[in-house]
Amino acid sequence: MNFDDKNHKVKIGLAEMLKGGVIMDVTTPEQAKIAEGSGAVAVMALERVPSDIRAEGGVARMADLDVIEGIKKIVTIPVMAKCRIGHITEARVLESLEIDFIDESEVLTPADHAHHVDKWNYKVPFVCGCRNLGEALRRISEGAAMIRTKGEAGTGDVSHAVRHLREINSAMRALTVMREDELYSVAKEYRVPLSLVKIVAKLGKLPVPNFAAGGVATPADAALCMELGAEAVFVGSGIFKADNPVKRAEAIVTATTHCKDPMKVAEASRGLGMAMKGIQADSIPQDELLQTR
Amino acid sequence: MMSIMNRYKNLTIGVLALQGDYEQHCRQLEVLGVEPVEVRTESQFGIIDGLIIPGGESTTMSILLERFGLRCTVSDFAKKNPVWGTCAGMILLSKRIADNQSDVKPLGLLDIDVVRNGYGRQIFSFEEDVKTKLGKDIESLPATFIRAPKIIRTGEGV
């Protein structure tokens, strides 16, 4: 675990460049073009958006490689793609395609129930989801260059992303006022290296950018995540499952930039048509939650 | 160093904060004793002495400059005040983007031509010490190239 490693620094550097922006899930080159035109800072290529995975069931895997190539050709912004948790080979394949960022994602069906990818051994940066600080630090210790909340993907219900953001941030604030001997117990509880806990205690934040994801469906949802300390926002089903994806995508980008200006968020929120219908995250049975993967 | 800091003490420098690494630019200005302002609206241009357009995604920044009606504001501001561009900021300042396949319109404030991602996609990003003629005592600086642009032409006096 070496945060001064040059290769790791340029991985985190790309995440830094995406701050203040919106990363949008896309399943076709046409959707990628719409996302780029709306002001997205990156697109995330995947086989099906999370709400479809939820509705249709089955095994969710890395996207079709021809679709990924098509998306890479049509946009100039960074292209990300999802691999299954622990699927070393999907990750290597995506790296060989010169993908800009890999999301080792709970939205896809996990390939390995015990191990995540050892992300230090790749040239390509990884983002991973988390629900709390312990999970975030475990992923960072495995080499993740960006962390995002898991929320509950495909629901259009932002409440779980909010819960995860609040949990992570309040746990980090607690670390900053702890005695040194207390940090040992935290490292033990979180199952992460003490050195990493000490870094967070000193910085008061993660050593990599911390983005929000999971259930963002409106411009106000995106602005809320930013207000709660997210440094950028991922939007999955929220755009292309809405009535007017073009206008909604633009509005979510505008609201993210102007998250501290309620007048601008209000203006962006007008005339968008219906948001995705969604499903209450708390009504989903425990064993069907994606976030526990 | 102290004399430099005193010289710049009363300056207010804006950092265009539409998206990108604007926070890091603000922190660095604070280290230098300069007051940074995150700039998102036209009215803020009235209170700043200079503007930094930071790194980030040039496509996104160009679209947002247009959407928020800031394109002319930046160009007008640049006629009388210093403007600095880092990475994506430099792309926006340029005369021409050689690889332009989308609708990114550079501001044309600096007589250079650039190629975006001139060193390749993310897996070809790197950090390296580069030689510089910036100061007498500084011969090289650590530089980070993340999906970085390449300058392929510089005009006279640049």
Q: Which of A248, A263, A260 is nearest to A39 (CA)?
A: A248
d(CA A194, CA A190): 10
Q: What is the DSSP letter of A290?
A: S
Q: Do A261 and B56 touch (CB under 8 A)?
A: no
For the segment A5-51, what is each residue's pLDDT rounded down to a tens digit?
Answer: 889 999 999 999 999 999 999 999 999 999 999 999 999 999 999 99
- Measure the CA–CA gap between B132 and B139, rounded to whole angstroms: 5
Size of interface A-B (CB pairs under 8 A): 110
Neighbours of A228 (CB within 10 A): 17
A232-257 tens-digit pLDDT: 999 999 999 999 999 999 999 999 99
Q: Give chain A positions within 8 Å (CB) of B22.
A: 19-20
| Average model confidence (pLDDT) across chain A | 96
pLDDT-derived band at B157 (thresholds 50, 70, 90) equals: confident
Confidence of residue A208 (pLDDT cuts 50, 70, 90): very high
Cβ atoms of A278 and A241 within 8 Å: the answer is no
- 3 state SS of A9: helix
Residues of chain B with Cβ-Cβ distance to A39 below 8 Å are 19, 60, 63-64, 67
Closest chain A residue to B128, measured at CA: A6
What pLDDT is recorded for position B4?
A: 59
Q: What percent of chain A has pLDDT over 70?
A: 100
Summarize pLDDT for A197-206 with one digit per residue, the tens: 999 999 999 9
Q: What is the pLDDT of residue B138?
A: 78
Nearest CB neighbour to A9, from listed B19, B21, B127: B127
Q: How long is chain B?
A: 158
pTM value is 0.95
What letter represents residue A276's amino acid? M
- Rounded to whole angstroms, how far apart are CA atoms A284 and A164? 17
User: What pLDDT shows up at residue B134?
Assistant: 74
Measure Cα distances from B75 to A108, B49, B83, B107, B151 in Å. Answer: 46, 14, 10, 7, 21
Instruction: Return the C-alpha torsion angle A70, A74, A77, A82, nearest 10.
Output: -20
Give alpha helix (H) positions in B8-134. Answer: 22-31, 58-67, 71-80, 88-93
Q: Which residues of B touch A (CB under 8 A)?
A: 17-24, 40, 55-57, 59-60, 63-64, 67-68, 87-88, 99, 101-104, 116-117, 120-123, 125-127, 144-147
Q: Do B21 and A41 touch (CB under 8 A)?
A: no
Residue in chain A closest to B41 (alpha carbons) equals A258
What local confidence, expressed as pLDDT, does residue B3 receive? 57
Does the structure show a pLDDT above 80 at B8? no
Which of the four pLDDT bands, split at 50, 70 and 90, describes residue B99?
A: confident
Answer for the pair A42, A23: CB distance below 8 angstroms, yes or no. yes
Instruction: Check whether B9 has a pLDDT greater than 90.
Output: no
- Contacting residues of A for B67, CB less than 8 Å apart: 39, 250, 254
CA within 13 Å, CB half, B61: 32
Residue B7 confidence class, pLDDT cut points 50, 70, 90: low
Chain B residues within an 8 Å CB radius of A21: 19-20, 56-57, 60
The pLDDT value recorded for residue A194 is 97
Contact A161, A235 (CB under 8 A): no
Mean pLDDT value across residues B7-12: 78
Output the pLDDT for position B101. 65
Q: What is the pLDDT of residues A73-109, one digit of tens each?
A: 999 999 999 999 999 999 999 999 999 999 999 999 9
- What was the ipTM of the complex prediction? 0.93
Query: DSSP string of A162-202?
Result: HHHHHHHHHHHHHHHTS-HHHHHHHHHHHTS-HHHHHHHHH
- Do B48 and B89 touch, CB atoms closer than 8 A? no
Neighbours of A221 (CB within 10 A): 24
Higher per-residue confidence, A24 vs B2: A24
Q: Among B66, B68, B64, B51, which Cα is nearest to B16's? A: B51
Gyration radius of chain B's alpha carbons: 16
| CA within 13 Å, CB half, B46 | 3
Q: How confident is the model at residue B48 (pLDDT cuts 50, 70, 90)?
A: very high
CA distances from B108 to B7, B16, B96, B113, B115 (A): 30, 17, 7, 9, 14
- Per the CB < 8 Å rule, is A257 touching B117? no
Angle, helices A262-269 vs A245-257, to 10°: value is 180
Residue A201 pLDDT:
98
Determine, for residues B19 and A16 on separate chains, whether the beta-carbon distance falls below 8 Å: no
pLDDT, mean of residues A155-166: 97
Interface of A with B (CB under 8 A): 6, 9-11, 13-14, 16-21, 36-42, 75-78, 95, 98-101, 123-125, 250, 253-254, 257-258, 261
The secondary structure element, H or E, covering residue A24 is strand A22-26
Q: Is the pLDDT of residue B6 over 80?
A: no
Q: Which residues contact A181 (CB under 8 A, 6 or more apart)?
A: none
Q: Show residues of chain B in contact with A42, CB under 8 Å.
A: 57
Name the closest residue on chain A to residue B23, using Cα atoms: A19
Q: What is the mean pLDDT of residues B131-149?
A: 85
Q: Which CATH number fits domain B2-115: 3.40.50.920, 1.10.275.10, 3.40.50.2000, 3.40.50.880?
A: 3.40.50.880
Mean residue pLDDT of chain B comes to 91
A261 neighbourhood in chain B, CB within 8 Å:
40
Residue B102: the pLDDT is 63
